[in-house]
Amino acid sequence: MRLENEVFVVTGAQGGMGKETVKRFLEEGAFVVAVDLNVDGVVESDYLLPIAADLTKEEEVANVFSSAFEKFERIDGLVNIAGIAQPATPIEEVSLADWEKIMRVNATAPFLTCRAAVPFMKNNGGGVIVNIASISIVRPRPGLNAYIASKGAAVSFSQALAIELADYGIRVNVVNPGPADTKMLGEFTAKNNDIEATKESVFKKSVPLGRLISPNDIANSLVYLCSKEASIVTGSVLNVDGGRGI
């Protein structure tokens, strides 16, 4: 098993990619702290600790990490999957409140969780962080202005941490998913557009390998980046996108 006995905090654990990642990490022998706004129906076990938290709130983030440490007595890794979409919107119609909300969830929450995780990792003499951004930062789509800015911030922040934390044996990487077959994909379409038709005619067509990215594609890349197989990989951005970024 590739993550045996390691403790990971996984955010966005109830979403399309998050659920699959929690499952795969458990299969690889990890202990998992599964965090989302709502964790109803997720049953605690010796290996799994579900925690409901709004990761834009400092005190809730602090509680996630103290509860995780209380149960598992160490924290080896953090995988930030939580995020929100933006319906494609012309820039002059984007409200300040919408901009700030997207930045708070997609950029500030990873800052808060990384800041909380790093002291535990420094104490362990190492650790690993993976932040999920988006291939849209490489190939933007019209109207996703705030979303793309927030994901760009997440990438720059991750690379800044990769250099800052290298001396401590803490690796920090990014995964850029391409259009993925989850609930979120429909949330990028402009208001009043047919979601299912857009998935087929716009998103699927945009992937050179000819299919949407599956949650399992993302979970596989996360297992790799969090495992010892990637022990020399830091500051990298892995596009898991079927070639969409080319």
Binding site for ligand NAD (CB under 6 A): 11-12, 14-18, 36-37, 54-56, 81-84, 105, 109, 132, 134, 177, 179-180, 182-185
How far apart are CB 59 and ligand NAD at their closest, in Å? 13
Q: How far is the CB of 168 from ligand NAD (least distance, A)?
A: 26
Is 116 in contact with 61 (CB distance < 8 Å)? yes
What are 107's two structure tokens? Answer: 């950029």
Q: Which is nearer to ligand NAD, 159 or 214 (CB)?
A: 214
| Cα–Cα distance measured from residue 54 to residue 186, given in angstroms and rounded to the nearest whole number | 23
Judged by beta carbon, residue 176 or residue 234, the one nearer ligand NAD is: 176
Name the residue number minimizing CB distance to ligand NAD: 15
Q: Are 215 and 181 in contact (CB under 8 A)?
A: yes
Q: Would residue 147 show up in a list of annotated catalytic residues for this protein?
A: yes
Nearest to ligand NAD of 59, 92 (CB atom): 59
Contact of 53 with 69, CB cutoff 8 Å: no
Q: Compute the least distance from the CB of residue 172 to ligand NAD, in Å.
A: 16
47, 147, 168, 224: which is the annotated catalytic residue? 147
DSSP 8-state class, residue 73: S
CB 124 within 8 A of CB 76: yes
Number of H-type helices and E-type strands within the chain: 8, 7
Closest CB to ligand NAD among 5 and 201? Answer: 201
- For residue 187, give the DSSP letter: T
Please state at what angle helix 58-72 crosses helix 109-124, rounded to 10 degrees: 30
Nearest distance, CB of residue 127 and ligand NAD, angstroms: 21
Contact between 199 and 188 (Cβ < 8 Å): no
Catalytic positions:
147
